[in-house]
Amino acid sequence: MHELESALARIRSAWMAGRSALEHCPAQWREAVAAQHGEAALAALTGHATSVLFRTAPSRQLEPRPLLPELALPIIPETLRPRLRRILAAQKGATSIERQLIDLVAARRYCLHPADWMPSPRDDWAPDLYAPWLDWVRTETRADAEHSALTVESYENWPWAARRLALAHLRIADPAAALAIIAAKAATEPAERRVRLLEILEAGLSEMDAAFLESLAKDRSEHVQTIARAYLARLGRGADPGDLAAELAGMVELGKVGLINRRTRLVIKALKTSAQKARRDELFRIVSLAALARALGAAETRLMEAPPEGPPEAIEAFAQMVATTGSDAARKALQDRLLEDASCQMSHLRVLAPRLSAEERRSLTAPVLARDSDDLDTTLCIAGRELGALPLSVLLAAPIYKSLKQLVENVLGGPDARRTHDNTLLGATLNRIALLLDAPGAADLAARVVSWGLAAADPKLDLLHLNAALKTETIP
Amino acid sequence: MGLTRSAIEAMAPDQSALKAAAELLKPAKWPVRARSGGLIWGECQGSGANPYRVIADTDEHGSKCTCPSRKFPCKHAIALMWLFVDDSATFGDAEIPVWVSDWMGRRRKGAPPPASGASSEAKSLGDARAARPETPPDPKAEARKQAAADKRAQDTRRSVRGATEDLDGWISDQLRTGLSGYLNEANKRCRRIAARLVDAKAGALASRIDEMPSRLLALPGEERIDGAIAEFGKLALLTRAWRAAPDDPELRREVIGAETREDVLANPDAPRLASLWEVLGERVLTRRDGLISQATWLMNLAMGPQRFAVLLDFFPASTGRRSGAFVPGERFPAELAFYPASLPLRAVIARRDESIDAPDAWPLAAADPLGDVAEQALTVPWRIETPLLLPAGRICAEPPGRTWWRSNDGILVPLRGTLPDLALGASLVHAAGLWDGARLALIAACTNWGRLGFDA
């Protein structure tokens, strides 16, 4: 066999170089290649011998990866998978609702089948239930992680996604224990992961976190420093940029509203030049709410007694300042004022959304929808992961319902020139509404839209049908 | 606006379309017919190996068919609507399948399109259905026809023989002048010799050579030399085999061209097998000659030596994207008629029943999936792809980017193509793939996560 192998190698080399290979033909084949077109005959024997006598082998010992773990929630019912795949395949670009779709399925207490969707290594946004898959795609699975509690000593035994999830749960159950682990181990992590660890401290942020946050003032990562400063500001601590706060205070004033119940209102003065506006926006980014309040001689919450007044972009910048550095009470106060005043733009709520609890998201979705614009961006932002729970009655009372009916009419009978655009818009609108409605609401709306003339099999109704069929799984 | 006979007559492009549709009114040609609201759909066994999928909207009179006909509506759509109008009770209510929804999503609603090339001739369903008067056979004319066919066959044999000898010379030249040079100019060189073969009426051989460059260029760089040697070797074996037995139907098919579906069904020597079949998957390839080849791989779920079958169709790329005729994983009882061969593989569906939810397990695979390959390679050494069944195993990755199937006993088979992440994390109970002599391209597997399909 070794001789044959050598002969085949010489034949191959001859043909690579552009020479006849007949002289290298093994003796037992000579007769077969002696006739006309011997090279072709030799190729027949060579090719055949190579494919049946030899098998390629890997360059080293191969071991399979650990099996992909099963998740805590059941997989979406098999009958719904084709429709879900069709919806996923249709998602692209700015109108993609892939993330929200995955959140909706999780909200109904299911996970996706890994053949239909798996997170990529960068998908930190994936719902917590996918942590084991995230660790698997990052090849960080550790066999012993599940058997030990998360402590400073066992920290390294846990894969990253599972570790972060365990810390988040521990922060709720025992904030001090979570702080101790994060404080001990954050420095061993790269910057991106230090940021994620720091974000865990946002839940239940309190004075006991201050010392650790202050130690991050000299962190190698600017992003880590920024977050630490913001958290300290929420606690009313941190470096006080007195002159900057005074400069910003000069750009606003405190007014009064109400005849009987006099309330303080923050008024952001109109500015003339774009350079001034840029400076104001920069100051809103740098100065904390506490520092601004001190410069104005008032408490944080006093600034929120009435909705702020001023140019929309300035209110947006102020809202961002509150979201980043305001105490929980100040943040909630601003949120309430924006909701109470019908003249306030709902879009200002978006910057406050990251600090909303799940309960707040559920309770705010309906009032926001009642005033949201047709793209429902703000409603979906406020809802966050709390999807698929809105009753149809809320939608029927919202402006979007009338717009939806008009869109269907346009698609079915409107001018040809607009039909493609309206069709795309209708698909996007139905998807967004479908993400918000509860299952009975989704079924009801689908029936209504079909009664208006859209075909029941139209793929634009796919997400409504999926929602309607995806009954919440009850885990005993 | 419901569907009526006069509406069908009005939308038909011409009387010949109605006549052709009349030929398709036998219920046996329509194993699937269903409806949901105003939508009707069905599967029609046409002249291709894969059935055609047909949809029609009885309200708006739009329709769609996967056949390559340029007439609109085609005879299949007309026949489907005609069957519905004649007896709508034969269309059972059913949930709208994925391929129908896909069409709904792409469809522009509005006024029904005018019949393509609508002729001014009177169109009548009644006339289309009327039996044609039979002309009595003319023995002399038949004899003349037969003699002409025999002469044509002789001439073809002569010209193909010459062309295959030229091909052997061409192969020898490519080897002697250097395979690196050949690989750099494979497209141009293969085109030239393929044209010679087409002129000599060796169309099937010409197509195979025309597609050789894309097969070779799909290989990793370090495998192309060996790939070229293997391809040339198979061609040399094929041409020699044909010259030794030019009337052998299998060799004729590989060199000159395949029989029609009707020929196979009418051939008493075409082996038939009635069994329960599972659709493993589909491979769709765009060829250099402007045709798209659609190969549907089937697996016999019953015991027996005939494990696999492939339904092969070709249609012009200009007819646009065609959805698959079957859903991977679908199971149906069917009788297949195989193109006669020493190891039959290509087949057509002679008869098919509706798909069923059969819980049958996959058949057992041999411990060494490549164990039989040597034997098969002696019988059909020119075959490009051999379907294999694999026993339980796992997929392992070898950096940078190679994958291997590894049996529980440690047998390794190199794999082709990019695999989804899940494949590396699943336990494969069974798998099926296509072996090309160097690597295996997986088609489907049964895993701990259920059935997994692998796109080409």
Q: Which residues of chain A are within 8 Å of residue B235 when distances are taken between CB atoms?
A: 40
CA distance A236 to chain B (A): 48
Give the pLDDT score at A259: 82
CA distance B165 to chain A (A): 9
Q: Which residues of chain A are within 8 Å of residue B240 when distances are taken between CB atoms?
A: 41, 44
Q: Which residues of chain B are within 8 Å of residue A68 when distances are taken between CB atoms?
A: 421-422, 425-426, 449
- Restricting to A residues 23-52, those with a Cβ less than 8 Å away from any Cβ of B are 36-48, 50-52
For B56, the enclosing helix (H) or strand (E) is strand B52-57
Give the pLDDT score at B111: 44
Pairwise CA distance, residues A100 & A126, whole Å: 10
Three-state DSSP class for residue B322: coil
Mutate to test the interface with B, among A25, A56, A140, A463 (most CBs of B within 10 A): A56
What secondary structure letter does DSSP report for B428?
E
Pairwise CA distance, residues A299 & B185, whole Å: 80
Could you tell me which of B447, B381, B237, B312 has the C-alpha nearest to residue A43?
A: B237
Picking from B37, B104, B404, the nearest residue to A62 by CB comes out as B404
With contact defined as beta carbons under 8 Å apart, do B32 and B349 qualify? no
| Sequence-ordered strand ranges (E) for B308-425 | 308-316, 331-338, 347-352, 386-390, 393-398, 402-407, 412-414
The tens place of each residue's pLDDT in chain B, 456 residues long, gives 578 888 888 888 888 888 889 989 988 888 889 998 888 999 988 777 888 889 998 887 888 888 878 788 999 999 999 999 998 888 988 888 877 877 776 665 544 444 444 455 677 777 777 755 667 778 888 899 899 988 988 898 999 999 999 999 999 999 999 999 999 999 999 999 999 999 999 999 999 999 999 999 988 898 899 999 999 999 999 999 999 999 999 999 999 999 999 999 999 999 999 999 999 999 988 888 888 899 999 999 998 889 999 999 888 877 666 666 788 999 999 999 999 999 999 999 998 888 888 877 899 899 999 988 888 888 999 999 999 999 999 999 998 889 999 999 999 999 998 899 999 999 999 999 999 988 999 999 999 999 999 976
Tell whether the torsion through CA atoms of A232, A234, A238 and A244 is positive or negative: positive
Give the pLDDT score at A421: 85
Mean pLDDT for chain A? 91
* Least reliable range by pLDDT among A39-48, A196-205, B309-318, B408-417: B309-318
pLDDT digits (tens, 9 = 90+) for A359-414: 999 999 999 999 998 789 999 999 999 999 999 999 999 999 999 999 999 998 87
Nearest 5°: the CA angle B53, B56, B62 is: 120
CA distance B176 to chain A (A): 5
With contact defined as beta carbons under 8 Å apart, do A159 and A138 qualify? yes
Query: What is the ipTM metric for this complex?
Result: 0.85
For B156, the enclosing helix (H) or strand (E) is helix B139-177
Pairwise CA distance, residues A433 & A401, whole Å: 9
Q: For the residues A164-181, what does the mean pLDDT come to?
A: 95
Percent of chain A predicted with pLDDT > 90:
71
- A447 inside 8 A of chain B by CB: no
* Least reliable range by pLDDT among A63-72, A134-143, B107-116, B284-293: B107-116
Contact B233 A43 (CB under 8 A): yes
Pairwise CA distance, residues A36 & B435, whole Å: 31
Give the pLDDT score at A231: 94
Q: Which residues of chain B are within 8 Å of residue A55 when distances are taken between CB atoms?
A: 370, 412
pLDDT above 80: residue A416: no
User: Which comes out higher in pLDDT, residue B76 or A240?
Assistant: B76
Pairwise CA distance, residues B369 & B391, whole Å: 8
For B453, the enclosing helix (H) or strand (E) is strand B450-453
Three-state DSSP class for residue B159: helix
Is the bond preceding residue B73 a cis peptide, omega within 30 degrees? yes
Contact B105 A58 (CB under 8 A): no
Tell whether the torsion through CA atoms of A59, A63, A66 and A67 is positive or negative: positive
Give the pLDDT score at B131: 59
CA distance B88 to chain A (A): 20
Q: Which residues of chain B are within 8 Å of residue A47 when distances are taken between CB atoms?
A: 229-234, 437
For B57, the enclosing helix (H) or strand (E) is strand B52-57
CA distance A426 to chain B (A): 13
Pairwise CA distance, residues B226 & B437, whole Å: 10
Cα nearest neighbour of A416 on chain B: B110
Number of other CB atoms surrounding residue B335 within 10 Å? 15
Pairwise CA distance, residues B72 & B113, whole Å: 9
Q: For the residues A200-208, what does the mean pLDDT come to?
A: 94
Could you tell me which of B424, B423, B409 has the C-alpha nearest to residue B366?
A: B409
Q: Which residues of chain B are within 8 Å of residue A113 when distances are taken between CB atoms?
A: 449-450
- A114 inside 8 A of chain B by CB: yes
Could you tell me which of B221, B415, B225, B226 has the C-alpha nearest to residue A54?
A: B226
Q: Which residues of chain A are within 8 Å of residue B227 when distances are taken between CB atoms?
A: none
Phi, psi of B158 (to 5 degrees): -65, -45
Give the pLDDT score at B115: 47
**Residue A200 structure tokens:** 């865990």
Give the pLDDT score at A33: 86
Give the pLDDT score at B112: 47
Picking from A51, A59, A78, the nearest residue to B437 by CB comes out as A51
pLDDT above 90: residue A431: yes
